[in-house]
Structure 1
């Protein structure tokens, strides 16, 4: 794939506007986490209060993912995204006003976080599934890679910008900037034009559509096998890496060392995304699951001998493998699931993948207290490998290939 082909999606007017919207949106998201954390800590020094505010966002988001999939398959996805962005701008703006005015209380932030989480759950399936409506099938991999490239860059830039805003102008103004990015993201979607959905002739019925989504999900082996596998893998990752990792780092490689490890992981994302702009993944799920296996070595190193240099190298490789999986998964979904079912498929995917994460976050601390960090991390690394191997034991996963592409006109008209 030439660089000209890799950047071809940006010459498509619709994708270019969507890309700009996602870029602004991701920058705001990356800033918001640190801004909200310090806003809560400005009100109270209680970590439990911060946990309540964060959970108030996560729980309604997960609860409404399936409904969001139905909405995105029923209505124009850009319209759903605009609604979600505007509602997010209003909820974040309200938090900013409360913080800046000095009237913010934890219960108020909890209520507004519930609103923000709810609209995020409604908007996520539309955001995940709109890409095939914006670019030709032959441009799906470079389009996904460009989105991943910006996400990886924002993972590095966003928290730094957010921290800078918090330090210089305060957490309230930083949240106000985040609210502005949500509004701007909605505005940038206005020029996007996608073909209207063809009427099905059947009256809207949310329960029926959810059942149709479930029937498709369960009737597609590679889909449910990977989602079930990642439900367990994400539980392990959230518990072993994200929860126990910082605690172990604090006593071994230090907080700055842990920062280097996480930066190496982000660098692995970024470098691999650039590679995937040029290299075509022919077997997206086989290569993706092999990439996912690379998350096990950092856990093993963390448990056996947390040496900084080895951890940095292992984390870089894990980031690279994670990005290969992410690309392979999106291509498998976008190329093999028809448009009318895609949002619901993504919603079942997200629900299955996210639902067990809080269990890992809560359970691994007590497990480490009872059995010790080393045994829990070694067991986690072994379990990670076993789960990946079980997923790969499915022929439907190993043999799924890219859908052949032929020269075709762009899905949408106009160039930038």
Structure 2
């Protein structure tokens, strides 16, 4: 199914929940511009932080510790961040998180530029950055979803993701070049400036169309309410459980096994960098495809595309020659973007606006929580079973879990629709009557 509506030019006249004017186009433009700014800075900063550790003699172990220092608070504070974003005006949470990221990256840059930073200092600043991200991400997802109308949602999400992926690719390339010329400190400083610009843009977001939150019983009550919303929808929690494992094995494949296979079998880091670039290009192409396509059965189309995430592990297990691996990585990028946009569209149409950030936080917590465990166990698994067997095991887990999710009726039958949802799981069924009549027909 195709869409001809442009979310950046089509006026939006109705809020997602409730009457009144809606400034969706303005918010969407601000959110997209701010996300492009942060992706340009952050992708280069990820490379810069690794080189900052290496330049102080930290080695691969030090790089891993700094990366883990960012990931752990990101996972720990996600649920609190989601509850807070549904309790306070989301744009204030986003601006505060951007301010924390700006300060932490600026301090990191100063340490690198003025001397030799110690490992614990870099870990602390990285942890502050992860904390900011934990509070920012659920608020951003809720704000983005509340800024588009139902019939435009899929295309709007595709354009947003295409812009951010493109910025990420450009930021990584620019960051690598700047590190080579000026060193990592200046790239970290640029990232701090990008957070400053993004926070300023997000300060102008309009939340007047979002209904005021009724006084509640506190943070714990909000978390319980979000959990009930999450666990009450079979399509939601089963896919999050699926991706808890799928994300973990995909990251372990790309972050641990990929570089090793490239070094020993493919000719070094250059071919692996080319494969990762192909994956990035695939995400942009996938978003471009989804600008034009609107699958009728959202989760069926999205879940079928997840099977492609087994390709990188299978390609490395063989291992394929570089051209074949590049093609596989490109196809994987396209496929994961199809899933991502179908998933965002489903959340947009099924989750009440006042609970979007809490549900997003449970989604992110489940999807990211196993990644540190998988990366830590990748080495022992290689020692115990051999690298080839471990990689085939990663591919098999993706295929088996994705096939299992297809047995959930709501996953197979979820249908694209445009009406807003105002209730919880009990009064807003995941499968519409139109979807039920489509059971048994190909999607």
Fold shared per TM-score above 0.5: yes
User: 1:369-388, aligned counterparts within 5 Å?
Assistant: 369-388=383-402
User: What is the aligned partner in structure 2 of residue 309 from structure 1?
Assistant: 323
Structure 1: how far apart are the matches of 2:301 and 2:339?
Answer: 7
Q: Contact 2:47–2:176 (CA<8 Å) still a contact in 1? A: yes
Taking structure 2 as the reference length, the TM-score comes to 0.87
Q: CA deviation at 1:246?
A: 1.6
* CA RMSD, Structure 1 to Structure 2 (Å): 1.9
User: What is the aligned partner in structure 2 of residue 409 from structure 1?
Assistant: none
User: 1:3-402, aligned counterparts within 5 Å?
Assistant: 5=6, 7-8=8-9, 12-102=25-115, 104-195=117-208, 197-254=210-267, 255-402=269-416
Count of residue pairs brought into register by the alignment: 406
Per-residue Cα deviation, 1:270-324 (whole angstroms, up to 9, x for no partner) = 1121111111122221111111101113322221242222212221111111001
Q: Contact 1:21–1:189 (CA<8 Å) still a contact in 2? A: yes
Q: CA deviation at 1:130?
A: 0.9
Structure 1: how far apart are the matches of 2:414 and 2:291?
Answer: 21
Structure 1, unaligned stretches of length 5 or more? 407-416
Q: CA deviation at 1:12?
A: 2.0
Per-residue Cα deviation, 1:159-206 (whole angstroms, up to 9, x for no partner) = 111112212222111111110000000111233212265444434501
Q: CA deviation at 1:4?
A: 5.8
Q: Contact 2:71–2:372 (CA<8 Å) still a contact in 1? A: no
Q: Which of structures 1 and 2 has the larger relative contact order (alpha carbons within 8 angstroms, sep 6+)?
A: 1
Structure 2: how far apart are the matches of 1:322 and 1:363?
Answer: 24
Structure 2: how far apart are the matches of 1:350 and 1:140?
Answer: 20
Q: CA deviation at 1:154?
A: 2.4
Q: CA deviation at 1:27?
A: 1.0
Structure 2, unaligned stretches of length 5 or more? 12-23, 421-443
Structure 1: how far apart are the matches of 2:82 and 2:401?
Answer: 27
Runs of 4+ with deviation above 3 angstroms = 1-4, 6-11, 196-201
Q: Contact 1:69–1:344 (CA<8 Å) still a contact in 2? A: yes
